[in-house]
Amino acid sequence: MNMQTTTRLTTAEAALVEAFGAQVGDLPGNGAVIGTRDRLLDDLKKSGLPTRRIESWHYTDLKNLFREVPEANGSAGVSAVAPLIAGSSVLTVLQGEADAKVHAEGFSVSAYKDALSDGSAVKGLTALDKDDAIGRINGSFVRDGFSLSVPAGADLADPIEIQALHAGGQIHTRFPAVFGAGAKATIIERHRAETDAAALVSSISDIALEDGAEVTWILLQQQGAADTHLGQIRVSLGKDAKLRLYVINAGGKLVRQELRIEVEGEGADLTLRGVNLLGGDTHTDVTLVLGHNVPHTTSTETIRNVLFDRASGVFQGMIKVAPDAQKTDAKMACNTLLMSDDADFSVKPELEIFADDVICGHGATVSDIDRNHLFYLMARGVPENKARAMLVNAFVAEIAEELEDEKLVAPLEELISDWLDKHA
Amino acid sequence: MPAVQETIDQVRGIDIDQYKYGFETIIEVDKAPKGLSEDIIRFISAKKQEPDWMLEWRLDAYKRWLTMEEPTWARVDYPKIDFNDVYYYAAPKNVTGPTSLDEVDPELLRTYEKLGIPLREQEILAGVERPRVAVDAVFDSVSVVTTFKDELKKAGVIFMSISEAIREYPELIKQYLGTVVPTTDNYYATLNAAVFTDGSFVYVPKGVRCPMELSTYFRINEKNTGQFERTLIIAEEGAYVSYLEGCTAPQRDENQLHAAVVELVALDDAEIKYSTVQNWFPGDKDGKGGIYNFVTKRGDCRGHRSKISWTQVETGSAITWKYPSCILRGDDSRGEFYSIAVSNGHQQIDSGTKMIHLGKNTSSRIISKGISAGVSQNTYRGQVSIHRRAENARNFTNCDSLLIGDKCGAHTVPYIDVKNSSGQIEHEATTSKISDDQKFYAMQRGIPEEEAIALIVNGFVKDVIQQLPMEFAVEAQKLIGISLEGSVG
């Protein structure tokens, strides 16, 4: 490996480099994969972690915020938990390693480690651009995960639940998922800390919807109060494909969720819903880059944020409309409730439009609870703290309700209520 | 939709080659040698008969500038500027500073006549019906004349070129210059601090409502010259002033540089209304020539209950890099930004505003309408920042864009940073032709579609145009050559 010593690395950067040196010997992968890992780490070393001078990291200065790499903790004992929805096919990743005992019905699944070992994973192990720190970290360190494939025409009655559970340490997972033409499925991706021990988690899901596929993908991030979670979801949508993507953040100390979505087929539709429940000292950043690349595609994005304590939240949402992507209809909204004077929220909803016959819009609001709403409830005898709780709950639970399917709505509502009970 | 079609036709109608103000005035000029150095700065300072502290101020800025790097974050693309290939000082001969009209070169007067700028007070007085406007005319590097000076003086208002003010009111200048846009602010502002040649100075004393509109008219005439003007407006307690700037330049093949700084200071209960009709030469239809317009404009609502309002109509310049901003420092202060930015041909606009809420109960309002045609790029870039102690801040932002043709781009980059929970911040941006919701609202009340569109459009146009002083509203509309129909969102 070409050791470069020209740039001064921060403690965390140096620790990453060191960790790579220690782990590379037993990271899975054939020659091509190892070569790619080396290259990604080298790029990371050269450019360092991104700072606020890099526009896409403007609000999350990773170099400054990410201070320590926790010790790797390979042997921690964690075990699978009950799925959110009874009857789901459960795919478990414990401490970053896929549990091979999988019962798959109607779809095929294999450990991602296998794709690394036989080299078939190498194509996906790339950084999306020069500022893609998550792509680089994950690409260098990824150890396991699941490769999912739902065949064309399949209609899965029960959800597939991916459980990524850990007890601190370094966890790097990856979940490529391909949905064949016309396939219908619901996936729940849960990231959860089982202990308070600090963890560095990076995880990338590569989601490809072929023509006419209809997928609901729910990401639940419930990391511990000391954890760093660097997540990325890469999506490509084929012709007439429909994706409902729910991203719920309810944990972690330093969280960055990147959603990189390319709408590639005419008639495709994206419904993105985000809920950020932020408390304590968390810094949580959700960054969306959505490309409408062909004519006649639609998308709606709604992000709801509630902040308590000293939480700091970020939403960056960029909608790009390519030249000739006429008749694009994209609407984005980001609504934030600041429940504490020590909390802050920054939002940057961007539009980049190169076609003239489009309807694109974004809205953003930041405020406290509406006094009129509060008055309405209090005038009916609801005490103030309860009225507040009800309003906050309604503000975010609304998003869950949009899923319509009671089987999915109920556990999400419960998760939201539980979190609010603990923090409000 | 007819309204949309009309707007599209009108914008197409503004042929970029039809720039009306592209003529050149042949006049003898005094020029400093090309290039930038300490000597040039000493030369400018000496020409302006400036006191030593001013020269020091400039030299400090210059030293600082040498260490700075050109910003690259804006969505504009242009070949690297050679700052040593520019004349930093060019003045029409026989003009040592603003003087009486009789001494002004008749060629210059004819120039301003051609531009439709009234410089003769008596002529203005003859038209009883017309509201009177005091004009400071800046030609290349110097102010050639300022009208109505005496009458303004009676009201206590000081309106003169900034070079004159540096000589006559050094204390005021020392107290305020560089306090809103420090010399270290940004690359172009620092350059401006080093080499600024002229501009306007306005001082409105306590409790005075300025009796007429004030206006500065900037003209770049000479080849290869840069124009670096500096404007400083101070409104004391309870004062009010409305100010307009206009600008044009001859049609030339090469690009010319314009880097201005405008500073506004509003003390308790004061109000400043600043309007710009920017019509620098935008370049020809192939994108050749045109002005590079890098401008730093900032208002400081220093006093309680003060108000600063920016209105801009941007139609010219090859490159526009401009973010008129408000610092809402005083409690209950208010900032406003109204903008129409029209880009055509190869123009690139990256413009917007910053509203920095520091005081309690501060409010701001941003209305921005962008129209892009041809192969132009039009970006709104803005920031609304609510600081930790800015209780009960209120912001409303609305940015609408209209694209005409499929070769141009419209972009929106708003930054919203909120650190206080008692604020209420709303932002909306759209890119579309006309909102169906609004049309539906009107139509379901029995108004036919055509009329509904007209109604919406009229209301929409008012937003920005109404903010301009009457006289200039007409001028602005003529200048754009379009109504804002169709960009309703």
Contact A358 B431 (CB under 8 A): yes
Which residue has tokens 């609010």?
A: A420
Q: How far is CA B401 from CA B361, B389, B428, B484, in A?
A: 30, 33, 11, 11
Tell me if chain A has a CB within 8 Å of the CB of B411.
yes
Highest mean pLDDT among A263-277, A389-403, B148-162, B463-477: A263-277
Per-residue pLDDT band at B138 (split at 50, 70, 90): confident
Average pLDDT over residues B95-101: 54
pLDDT: is B102 or A227 the higher one? A227
User: Residue A187: phi, psi to the nearest 5?
Assistant: -120, 135
Tell me if chain B has a CB within 8 Å of the CB of A346.
yes
Determine the 3-state secondary structure of B479 from DSSP: helix
Cβ neighbours, 10 Å, residue B169: 16
Q: B383 in the Ramachandran plot: left (φ > 0), alpha (ψ -120 to 50) or beta? A: beta
Amino acid at B239: A
Contact A366 B423 (CB under 8 A): yes
Tokens representing residue B119 in the block: 């410089």
Contacts with A293 (C-beta within 8 Å, 6 or more apart), sequence order: A262, A263, A264, A322, A325
Contact A344 B418 (CB under 8 A): yes
pLDDT: is A123 or B254 the higher one? A123
Cα gap B147→B153, rounded to integer Å? 11
Q: Which has the closest alpha carbon to B193: B298, B322, B98, B63?
A: B63
Q: How far is B255 from chain A (nearest CA, A)?
A: 26
Residue B482 has pLDDT above 60, yes or no: no
The residue in chain A having the minimum alpha-carbon distance to the alpha carbon of residue B420 is A341
End-of-domain residue from the set A243, A265, A287: A265
The residue in chain B having the minimum alpha-carbon distance to the alpha carbon of residue A326 is B406
End-of-domain residue from the set A249, A265, A281: A265
Tell me: do A204 and A70 sit in the same domain.
Answer: yes
B488: exposed, middle or buried (Cβ count in 10 Å: 0-12, 13-18, 19+)? buried
Cα gap A50→A10, rounded to integer Å? 12
Per-residue pLDDT band at B75 (split at 50, 70, 90): confident
Q: Which strand (E) or helix (H) includes residue A13?
A: helix A11-23
Tell me if chain A has a CB within 8 Å of the CB of B91.
no
Within 8 A of B73 by CB-CB distance, chain A residues are 55
The residue in chain A having the minimum alpha-carbon distance to the alpha carbon of residue B432 is A359
Contact A361 B415 (CB under 8 A): no
Cβ neighbours, 10 Å, residue A288: 25
Residue B488 lies in a domain: no
* Pairs across A and B, CB distance < 8 A: 113
Residue B487 lies in a domain: no
Q: How far is CA B10 from CA B400, B480, B485, in A?
A: 18, 9, 10
Pick from A340, A351, A368: which is nearest to B429 by CB?
A351
Q: Which has the closest alpha carbon to A351: A335, A331, A365, A334?
A: A331
Q: How far is CA A379 from CA A55, A373, A401, B216, in A?
A: 47, 10, 27, 58
Residue B337 lies in a domain: yes
Pick from B386, B403, B416: which is nearest to A353 by CB?
B403
Residue B102 has pLDDT above 70, yes or no: no
Amino acid at B182: P
Q: How far is A209 from chain B (nearest CA, A)?
A: 28
Contact B418 A340 (CB under 8 A): no
Cα gap B483→B489, rounded to integer Å? 15
Determine the 3-state secondary structure of A44 from DSSP: helix
Within 8 A of A344 by CB-CB distance, chain B residues are 388, 417-419
Over residues B308-322, the pLDDT tens digits come to 999 888 877 888 999
Restricting to B residues 450-489, those with a Cβ less than 8 Å away from any Cβ of A are: 489
The residue in chain B having the minimum alpha-carbon distance to the alpha carbon of residue A355 is B406
Residue A51 lies in a domain: yes
pLDDT of B73: 86
Average pLDDT over residues B381-387: 94
pLDDT of A330: 94
Pick from B408, B420, B427: which is nearest to A364 by CB?
B427
Tell me if chain A has a CB within 8 Å of the CB of B429.
yes
Instruction: Find how far residue A43's CA is from the centre of its chain.
Output: 23
Q: How far is CA B381 from CA A149, A364, B320, B355, in A?
A: 42, 15, 12, 12
Q: What share of chain A is helix, strand, coil (3-state, %, to 5)?
A: 25, 40, 35
Q: Which has the closest alpha carbon to A252: A346, A357, A352, A166?
A: A166
Contacts with A26 (C-beta within 8 Å, 6 or more apart), sequence order: none
Residue B119 has pLDDT above 80, yes or no: no
Contact B416 A339 (CB under 8 A): no
Tell me if chain A has a CB within 8 Å of the CB of B73.
yes
**Number of structural domains in chain A:** 2
Per-residue pLDDT band at B485 (split at 50, 70, 90): very low
What share of chain B in percent tops pLDDT 90? 36
Contact B410 A355 (CB under 8 A): no
Average pLDDT over residues B442-450: 83
Alpha helix (H) residue ranges in A193-293 = none
Tell me if chain B has a CB within 8 Å of the CB of A376.
no
Amino acid at B108: L
Per-residue pLDDT band at B95 (split at 50, 70, 90): low
Instruction: Find how far residue B80's CA is from the centre of its chain.
Output: 24
Contacts with B377 (C-beta within 8 Å, 6 or more apart), sequence order: B75, B76, B343, B347, B348, B349, B408, B409, B411
Over residues B286-343, the pLDDT tens digits come to 778 888 899 999 999 999 999 999 988 887 788 899 999 999 999 999 999 998 888 8
Dihedral through CA A398, CA A399, CA A402, CA A406, nearest 10?
-80
Q: Which has the closest alpha carbon to B488: B444, B445, B438, B449?
A: B438
Q: Which has the closest alpha carbon to B173: B296, B48, B315?
A: B48
* Strand pairing class (B409-418; A344-353): antiparallel
Per-residue pLDDT band at B479 (split at 50, 70, 90): low
The residue in chain B having the minimum alpha-carbon distance to the alpha carbon of residue A54 is B73
pLDDT of B124: 44
Tell me: do A239 and A382 sit in the same domain.
Answer: no
- The residues pairing with B85 across neighbouring beta strands, listed in sequence order, are none
pLDDT of B312: 87
Contact B420 A341 (CB under 8 A): yes
Residue B156 lies in a domain: yes
Q: What is the mean pLDDT of each run of 10 residues along chain A (424 residues)?
A: 60 92 91 94 93 93 92 80 92 91 87 94 92 95 96 94 94 97 97 94 97 97 96 97 97 97 97 96 97 96 95 96 92 93 93 87 89 92 91 92 91 92 82
Average pLDDT over residues B11-16: 49
Residue B187 has pLDDT above 70, yes or no: yes
ipTM entry = 0.84
Q: How far is B258 from chain A (nearest CA, A)?
A: 27
Residue B470 has pLDDT above 70, yes or no: no
Cα gap B137→B214, rounded to integer Å? 11
Q: How far is A365 from chain B (nearest CA, A)?
A: 4
Within 8 A of B433 by CB-CB distance, chain A residues are 357
pLDDT of A393: 92
**Number of structural domains in chain B:** 1
Residue A223 lies in a domain: yes
Residue in B379, B392, B431 to test binding to A, most A beta-carbons within 10 Å: B431
Tokens representing residue B13 in the block: 């109608």
Cα gap B400→B429, rounded to integer Å? 5
Contact B418 A352 (CB under 8 A): no
Restricting to A residues 295-334, those with a Cβ less than 8 Å away from any Cβ of B are: 323-324, 326
Query: Are A264 and A294 a contacting pair, CB within 8 Å?
Result: yes
Rg of chain A in Å (alpha carbons): 21
**Mean model confidence pLDDT for chain B:** 80
Tell me if chain B has a CB within 8 Å of the CB of A338.
yes
Quote the pTM value: 0.85
End-of-domain residue from the set A205, A234, A265: A265
- Identify the domain containing residue A389 by its residue range: 369-424
Longest Cα–Cα distance of chain B, Å, equals 72
Cα gap A78→A99, rounded to integer Å? 11
Q: How far is A343 from chain B (nearest CA, A)?
A: 6
Within 8 A of B412 by CB-CB distance, chain A residues are 349-351, 362
Pick from A346, A350, A354: which is nearest to B417 by CB?
A346
- Identify the domain containing residue B387 by its residue range: 2-480
Cα gap A202→A194, rounded to integer Å? 16
Cα gap A412→A186, rounded to integer Å? 14
What share of chain B in percent tops pLDDT 70? 76
